[in-house]
């Protein structure tokens, strides 16, 4: 059996190296190879597997964290609610997500709830452990992905110019939709990706793994629509502005001051409204982008229907993206 594991591991490693080599022939992307998702998914609920580990390990508890996790102080990211630093657990680099202020503790707990609820979902960043009650600064530990979020694509392409192709950029769009798709179609859902009032913000909730797939990492603001009793959601309690938020998210009474109690709630169709903006941001303005946007025009127009009921579901948009991807595959080689 040992040989079997070694063999499958080596086979997986070779396949990944081939993929990475193809994308980064001139760059030295990774010293670390992302764990094959099939192996990770073999872990039972409540455990995790990192590259180099032979066995799944149960989620780390407070005492595991006190004993075995060190904070290297390397800053990985910071927002209003959280600060993320690199940590080390038994030689593995991990991401330490610290809550900055008690004011956001409910969001932090929501994040944890969804990270564990969706922990078998390959498009969700892997949960490693947490300690909420016993610490001055509660902590959630997740898998670290050195490429970071796809919201600063220029930085990524500066380091890895070979990645800057229309094929890769459109593949990110498809993956963004795949993330929305499992949120919207989850049996407990739909869940709505609220932190998305501009494309960069939406993409900052995600991480790019070393094998160049997107995972959702931040689920602080992912509320749940409860269909069977008609419970809709609101993205926060403040007034929202601008073209990038869906029309039903805007305060409708121009002459009256904003009043959250009187503001109506809405559903996951707000995510559909934002798809064209996020995807156009990912596609950019480089070679091949105009023709791709032309092909997307039809489906994107439907996403921008003022009436949310008339907007397509994410599965319909994804289907349309996949057929465009197929149709353009041959041409991509020429235009990219
Ligand atoms: C890369 O990893 C993701 C998630 O970790 C997985 O869904 C995907 O299949 C992997 N891709 C390859 C080429 O191994
Ligand atoms: C996955 O789990 C099954 C059943 O628990 C086990 O028989 C199998 O060996 C595991 N495979 C790997 C690659 O861990
Ligand atoms: C709807 O159902 C959920 C549980 O399924 C419950 O928590 C919630 O309070 C209900 N809301 C209303 C308005 O009945
Ligand atoms: C806000 O709206 C609610 C419900 O329509 C109303 O009861 C309340 O008086 C309003 N508050 C203010 C400050 O206008």
Dump pLDDT digits (tens) for 92-102: 999 999 998 88
Nearest CA to ligand 1 atom 6: 37
pLDDT over 70 at 217, yes or no: yes
CA max distance for the chain: 73
Residue nearest to atom 9 of ligand 3 (CA): 231
Whose Cα sits closest to atom 4 in ligand 2?
42
Question: Ligand 2: which residue has its CA nearest to atom 11?
Answer: 42
**CA 233 to ligand 3 centroid distance, Å:** 12
Using the predicted structure, report yes or no on whether residue 12 has a pLDDT greater than 90. Answer: no
pLDDT reported for residue 11: 40
Average pLDDT of the residues in 120-126: 93
Handedness of CA 26, 12, 33, 207 (dihedral sign): positive
Per-residue pLDDT, averaged over 147-161, amounts to: 91
Q: Calculate mean pLDDT across residues 153-159.
A: 91
Give the pLDDT of residue 126.
96
d(CA 60, CA 40): 16
DSSP assignment, residue 254? Answer: T
Q: Which atom of ligand 4 is nearest to the CA of 256?
A: 14
**Does position 254 have pLDDT exceeding 80, yes or no?**
yes
Q: Rounded CA gap, 87 and 103, in Å? A: 24
The interaxial angle of helices 289-303 and 269-283, nearest 10 deg, is 170
Which of the pair, 39 or 276, is modelled with greater confidence?
276
Half-sphere exposure of 218 (CA within 13 A, CB side): 26
Nearest atom of ligand 3 to the alpha carbon of 229: 1
Say whether 214 sits in a helix, a strand or coil: strand
Mean pLDDT lowest for which of 7-11, 45-49, 122-126, 151-155?
A: 7-11
Show the CA angle centred on residue 23, arms to residues 22 and 24, nearest 5°.
Answer: 100
Question: Per-residue pLDDT averaged across 108-119, rounded?
Answer: 93
Please give the pLDDT value at position 234. Answer: 95
Residue 7: predicted pLDDT: 42
Check whether 10 has a pLDDT greater than 50: no
Residue predicted with more confidence, 143 or 5? 143
- Which tokens belong to 314? 């994410």
Residue in 11, 15, 122 to alter for ligand 1 test, most ligand atoms within 8 A of Cβ: 122
Residue 212 has pLDDT above 60, yes or no: yes
Does the CB atom of residue 262 touch ligand 4 within 6 A? yes
Helices (H), 34-165: 37-42, 62-68, 105-117, 153-159
The predicted model gives 310-318 an average pLDDT of 97
C-alpha 71 – ligand 3 centre gap (Å): 40
Instruction: Give the ligand 4 atom nearest the CA of 260.
Output: 1
Cβ-contact 47, 57 below 8 angstroms: yes
The pTM score is 0.84
Ligand minimally distant from the alpha carbon of residue 42:
2
Average pLDDT over residues 9-35: 41
207 with 125: CB under 8 angstroms?
yes
Q: Is the pLDDT of residue 36 over 60?
A: no
DSSP 308: G
Can you tell me whether residue 313 is helix, strand or coil?
Answer: coil
Per-residue pLDDT averaged across 170-185, rounded?
96
**323 touches ligand 4 (CB under 6 Å):** no
Mutate to test the pocket of ligand 4, among 259, 260, 265 (most ligand atoms within 8 A of CB): 259
pLDDT value at 29 more than 50? no
Count of beta carbons in the 10 Å neighbourhood of residue 156? 18
* Ligand at shortest distance from the CA of 37: 1
Tokens 């609820």 locate to 117
């Amino acid at each position: 059996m040992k040989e079997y594991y070694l063999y499958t591991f080596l086979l997986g490693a070779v396949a990944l190296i081939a993929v990475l080599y193809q994308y980064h022939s001139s760059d030295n992307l990774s010293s670390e190879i992302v764990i094959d998702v099939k192996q990770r998914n073999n872990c039972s609920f409540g455990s995790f597997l990192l590259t180099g580990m032979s066995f799944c390990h149960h989620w780390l508890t407070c005492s595991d964290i006190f004993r075995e996790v060190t904070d290297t102080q390397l800053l990985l990211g910071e927002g209003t609610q959280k600060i993320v630093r690199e940590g080390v657990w038994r030689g593995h680099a991990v991401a330490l997500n610290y809550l900055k202020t008690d004011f956001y503790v409910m969001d932090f707990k929501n994040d944890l709830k969804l990270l564990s609820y969706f922990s078998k979902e390959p498009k969700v960043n892997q949960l490693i452990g947490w300690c909420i009650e016993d610490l001055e600064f509660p902590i959630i530990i997740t898998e670290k992905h050195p490429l970071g979020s796809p919201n600063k694509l220029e930085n990524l392409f500066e380091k890895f110019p070979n990645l800057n192709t229309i094929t890769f950029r459109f593949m990110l769009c498809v993956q963004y939709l795949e993330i929305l798709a499992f949120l919207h179609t989850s049996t407990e859902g739909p869940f709505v990706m609220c932190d998305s009032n501009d494309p960069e913000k939406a993409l900052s909730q995600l991480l790019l793994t070393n094998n160049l797939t997107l995972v959702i990492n931040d689920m602080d603001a992912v509320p749940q629509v409860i269909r069977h009793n008609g419970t809709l959601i609101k993205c926060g309690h403040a007034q929202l502005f601008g073209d990038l938020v869906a029309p039903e998210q805007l305060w409708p009474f121009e002459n009256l001051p904003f009043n959250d109690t009187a503001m109506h709630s809405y559903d996951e169709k707000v995510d559909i409204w934002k798809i064209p903006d996020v995807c156009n941001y990912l596609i950019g303005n480089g070679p091949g982008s105009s023709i791709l946007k032309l092909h997307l025009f039809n489906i994107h127009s439907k996403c921008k229907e003022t009436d949310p009921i008339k907007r397509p579901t994410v599965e319909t948009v994804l289907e349309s993206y996949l057929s465009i991807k197929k149709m353009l595959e041959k041409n991509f080689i020429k235009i990219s």
